[in-house]
Amino acid sequence: MAAVRTSSEITFNRVAIVAVLLVTIIFLAPIYWIASTAFKPRNLATTIPPTVVFQPEISPFVKLFTKRSQLRSPPSPEEYAAAPWWERVVFNGGEKIVRDGKGQVQWSGYPSRFMNSLIVAITSTVLAVGMGTFTAYGFSRFKVKGEADLLFFILSTRMLPPVVVAIPMFLMYRAVGLNDSHVGLIILYTAFNLSFSVWLMKGFMDEIPKEYEEAALVDGYTRMEAFFKIVLPEAATGIAATAVFCFITAWNEYAFALIMTSRRAQTAPPFIPSQVGAGLPDWTVIAAGTFLFLLPVAIFTFLLRNHLLRGMSFGAIRK
Amino acid sequence: MTQIELRGVQKYFGAVQVIKDLNLKIDDNEFIVLLGQSGCGKTTTLRAIAGLETIDGGDILIDGKPVQHLKAADRDIAMVFQSFSLYPHMSVYENIAFPLRATRKSKAEIDSEVRSVAKTLQISDLLAKKPSALSGGDMQRVAIGRALVRRPKAMLMDEPIGALDAKLREEMRAEIKRLHIKQGSTSIYVTHDQIEAMSLADRIVIMHEGVLQQVGSPDEVYSHPANLFVAQFVGSPVMNVADASVTEKPSLASVTVGDAAAGFEFPRALLSKLNGHAGSQLALGIRPEGVLVRREAAEGFLPVETQIVEPLGSFDIVDLKVGSKMLRARTKSGFISGPGERVFVRIDPSQAHFFDTASGKSLGVRL
């Protein structure tokens, strides 16, 4: 059933739609740029004006995952014919893939950095959201002495830009041997996200009527059982939303990753720009690395979109 | 067989005492209604019995055993909440089965018990639905089903039909009564609605500011209110209460309301029954049906002027001006056409109540 709309409202709606489209285009432009560059041949990546129509290539991704060196002379026809398709696209670009003594392909630094990013972001998200959920539940349901002060204290860890503590953190981490380790980054990002997670989850917990748990308590369940069987399913929306935000923060974090890690535990954000400086930059490879880096967050957010929209029917409670 | 007893129960919220030395004994199969205004401690009392609130003093006994230190889960009591508290992520079936899953019952047993409760409550066709798809009355039935399915020692209900609309409330009231008669479990029911209390209760417990005011059958609390609070809280329309003075006349007693010019005639026996209270602070309480109204003058009737008339369908409530006070009378509908009419009124001595205004207590005078 459509409500009655006046002509001025219709005009307003049209203007609004145009404005929304415009803003969307502005926001999507950089993503389009990265995505298109990731599939361009190297010689078209930096043309002025930009090349819009081109034959997409997979070579930037092959190059992204392998170590390469410049070809002094073109490969012999036999060598070219014997090479698999992914090696040929590298030959076509005037480079060759580096192999070790046994002929094994040498991987570039990217896959391990990407894995590091996944390990650190997922683990720290699980920890921050898990601890945040329990903490928020405690604050929401029980009388905690000095509750307001404690919550303020938790929030206060967010009041400084984190980079301010980067140097002391670095020194501390070096002293205890946590620098360039997964555990170090996980602790750091968990601490980072925890205050945010506690506050966000507190809001969601407060919205869940405590009669649900009380009903379960009277029905013969312990507090823990009631928490897992009743509160957690009800808080799923909030947990999903909090997890998305924590994951994005941990996934995108650059400054600390740059300072705290160098090789073993280095994540993708500091690695990708570090490749710009190595010789003449191959923008297509950097774009491919960035494009792949965008995907997990996009997929994660897409999977949880229903929860984020809070479209769930929120309960059969009468107030 | 379940008896519940409260002995000297005390409960504080911070500095505020919400339950003051509550003593109450509830018999097996009894339907008890805790009645009072919001904030009188009735819900807190119920939650204390359920184990959702701790108490600061006294004992709560179920079948003679103190339970105040037991967790809610270990008291074997079921509760229906005003908000229903159906778990939104579970189907109706799962909601009803939930209390059984806490026990070590087999799947088949659970299934048959859920289905039999659903049949009793006539919600068998709703079992697959989610609570959000139900109407208010059906939600209520499911909530009651969830409480009944475990066959608990006692059923506690916290304003279970308060959230429903008037018509449905009446229907559910009858249904709850029918169920209680059929199942016969000890039940404690909290409400602020005195009609609900009167229609459901074996005994009504009236509370005010954390203090128990009176315990008795609906008829007892209606006909013999223990104090002014109960007198004015129970019954609709509300009982007339006015300061009164009693004077001795030859062969009868006269009760003057407020600053009225003349007094109402009462039997002389009143004087002896008042037992010395006659001159002191005294309040007369009379329900509107105890105020008798006539059109013609008669022996013992005082002339008064009518004010507002409230037609309520089956009867009218008429405000009568007695001195500077208003006396509300119940008349046949249409008996008084409007304000400004001159009618004659007397008070039925057998329906009059006398209270000590200082303590508020009833003087227990019956004529």
Q: Give the domain-ending residue among B165, B192, B226.
A: B226
Residue of B46, B102, B43 whose CA lies nearest to B73: B102
What is the average pLDDT across A79-95? 82
Give me the domain span that covers residue B65: 4-226
pLDDT in tens, B83-92: 888 999 999 9
pLDDT score of A315? 37
Residues of B in contact with A143 (CB under 8 A): none
Q: How many CB pairs under 8 A join A and B?
A: 84
Domain shared by B25 and B131, yes or no: yes
Write the CATH number for B298: 2.40.50.140
Largest CA distance in chain B: 82
Beta-carbon contacts of A307 under 8 Å, excluding residues fewer than 6 positions away, are A236, A237, A240, A241
Q: Are residues B144 and B268 in the same domain?
A: no
Kindly determine whether residue A220 and residue B87, on different chains, have CB atoms separated by under 8 Å.
Answer: no
Asked if B48 and B108 sit in the same domain, the reply is yes
Mean pLDDT of B357-363: 88
Q: What is the largest CA-CA distance in chain A?
A: 81
pLDDT at A278: 56
B26 belongs to a structural domain: yes
B134 touching A, CB under 8 A? yes
**pLDDT given at position B92:** 95
Q: Least CA distance to A231: which residue of chain B? A: B87
> Average of pLDDT values for A166-186?
92
- Structural domain contains residue B284: yes
B132:A211 CB<8 A: no
Residues B172 and B200 in one domain: yes
Q: Are residues B201 and B248 in the same domain?
A: no
Helix axes B107-120, B92-101, angle to 10 degrees: 130
Of B72, B98, B132, the CB nearest to A313: B132
Same domain, B209 and B284: no
Domain contains B361? no
- The confidence score (pLDDT) of residue A159 equals 87
For residue B353, the model assigns a pLDDT of 92
pLDDT, tens only, A189-240: 999 899 999 999 998 899 898 889 999 999 889 999 999 999 999 898 889 8
Do both B204 and B294 map to the same domain?
no
Residues B66 and B202 in one domain: yes
Question: Quick one: average pLDDT of A101-120?
Answer: 88
Query: For A230, which residue in chain B has the nearest alpha carbon?
Result: B87
Strand B240-249: give its sheet, edge to edge: B264-266, B252-257, B240-249, B282-286, B352-356
Nearest alpha-carbon partner for A74 in A99, A58, A61, A91? A91
Nearest-Cα distance to chain B for A49, in Å, is 56
Dist CA B305 CA A59 (whole Å): 104
> Per the CB < 8 Å rule, is B72 touching A218?
yes
- Residue among B81, B102, B131 minimizing CB distance to A211: B81
Answer yes or no: is pLDDT of A313 > 50. no
Same-domain status, B162 and B256: no
Contacts of residue A316 in chain B, CB cutoff 8 Å? 84, 86, 88, 130-132, 134, 139
Q: How far apart are CA B175 and CA B179, in angstroms?
A: 6
Q: Hey, what's the torsion of the CAs at A192, A194, A195, A198, to 10 degrees?
A: 160
| Structural domain contains residue B362 | no
B73 close to A (CB below 8 A): yes
B41: CATH: 3.40.50.300
Q: CA angle, corner A175, sides to A169 and A179, nearest 5?
A: 60
Over residues B2-12, the mean pLDDT reads 93
Chain B residues whose CB is inside 8 A of the A214 CB are 50, 52, 72, 79, 81, 85
C-alpha radius of gyration, chain B, whole number: 25
Label residue B237 by pLDDT band (50, 70, 90).
confident
Whether the predicted pLDDT of B268 surpasses 90:
no
Share of chain A above pLDDT 70, in %: 95
Element (H, E) at B5: strand B4-13
Tokens representing A243 are 């997890």
Closest to A174 measured CA to CA, from A279, A283, A260? A260
Residue A205 Cα, gap to closest chain B Cα (Å) = 15
End-to-end CA distance of chain A: 28
* Alpha carbons A260 and B365: distance in angstroms, whole number: 89
B43, B133: one domain: yes
Q: Is B83 on the interface with A (CB under 8 A)?
A: yes
Q: With 60 as the cut, is the pLDDT of residue A318 above it?
A: no
| Sign of the torsion angle spanned by Cα atoms A235, A241, A245, A250 | positive
Q: Is residue B294 part of a domain?
A: yes
Same domain for B282 and B182: no
Q: Is B96 within the bounds of a domain? A: yes
Q: Is the pLDDT of residue A312 over 60?
A: no
The Cα B335–Cα B346 span in angstroms is 16
pLDDT of B183 above 90: no
Task: Give A141 to chain B, closest Cα distance, Å.
Answer: 12
ipTM of the complex: 0.81
Q: What is the pLDDT of residue B143?
A: 92
Domain count, chain B: 2
User: Which of A208-222, B203-217, B264-278, B319-333 shows the lowest per-residue confidence on average (mean pLDDT)?
Assistant: B264-278
**Side chain identity, residue B236:** S
Of the two residues A78 and B192, the one the predictor is more confident about is: B192
Virtual CA dihedral for A198, A200, A206, A211, nearest 10 degrees?
-80
Task: Specify whether the CB–CB gap between B266 and B339 falls below 8 A.
Answer: no
Domain boundary among B226, B254, B289: B226
Q: How are strands ordered across the β-sheet holding B211-216?
A: B77-80, B154-158, B186-191, B31-35, B203-208, B211-216
* pLDDT band of A314, cuts 50, 70, 90: very low
Last residue of a domain, one of B172, B196, B226: B226
Is 50 exceeded by the pLDDT of residue A18? yes
Residue B142 lies in a domain: yes
Mean pLDDT for the stretch of residues B206-235: 93
User: By percentage, how much of chain B surpasses pLDDT 70?
Assistant: 98
Distances (CA, A) of B260 to B133, B244, B254, B355: 60, 10, 12, 19
Residue B363 lies in a domain: no
**How many whole angstroms separate alpha carbon A135 and alpha carbon A201?**
9
**What is the per-residue pLDDT for A2?**
62
Q: Kindly state whether residues B176 and B134 are assigned to the same domain.
A: yes
